Amino acid sequence: MTLNEHSASAADIRAEAERKLAEIQAAGDLPAAPRPVRDGIADLATLLVASRLRALRKARGWSLAVACTHLSSIGVAALSRIERGERQITISDLAELAGGYGVSIADLVAPGDICDACGQEIPR
């Protein structure tokens, strides 16, 4: 891969991260002004996990406080920051969140399917 190809790939990744951020904001899954996209892949992954966690919690009808009863070391404030994309998620956080929500880590981080009708990601 040449330097130009690598640069184009980085630009594409950043553009995709910014597009995904706009989609998540438009769907109302995050506040209008989360932290800015810095490095593309990491931020996109954080926002993806954040939106999935919020969707899973809401689908179960859980408040933040109720969700935290299923977690041993993540409190309400921390979970709120994770769901807003304001806190970096560690591997141990992912494992705890997946276990508490009864899903696999892959369900939280793997790209989802896109709805043919609306073009939005289908939550796992």
Let me know: does 89 contact 46? Beta carbons within 8 Å.
yes
In terms of phi and psi (left: phi > 0; alpha: psi -120 to 50; beta: otherwise), the region of 119 is left
Q: Looking at residue 97, what is its pLDDT? A: 94
Over residues 93-98, mean pLDDT: 93
73's tokens: 């070391």
Q: Looking at residue 6, what is its pLDDT? A: 42
Least confident window among 22-26, 65-69, 78-82, 115-119: 115-119
Q: Compute the distance between CA of residue 115 and CA of residue 124 in angstroms, rounded to an integer.
A: 12
123's tokens: 């939550």
CATH (residue range 3-109): 1.10.260.40
**pLDDT tens column, 1-31:** 343 444 455 666 667 767 776 777 677 655 5
Question: Which residues pair with residue 121 across a beta bridge?
Answer: 114
Given a cut of 60, whether residue 41 has pLDDT beyond it is: no
Over residues 76-91, mean pLDDT: 89
Question: Which stretches within the chain are classed as H helix?
Answer: 3-26, 41-59, 64-68, 76-83, 91-101, 105-109
Q: Looking at residue 122, what is its pLDDT? A: 55
Please state, for a pLDDT cut of 70, what percent of the chain lies above it: 60
Given a cut of 90, whether residue 63 has pLDDT beyond it is: yes
Domain range summary for the chain, segments of one domain joined by + = 3-109
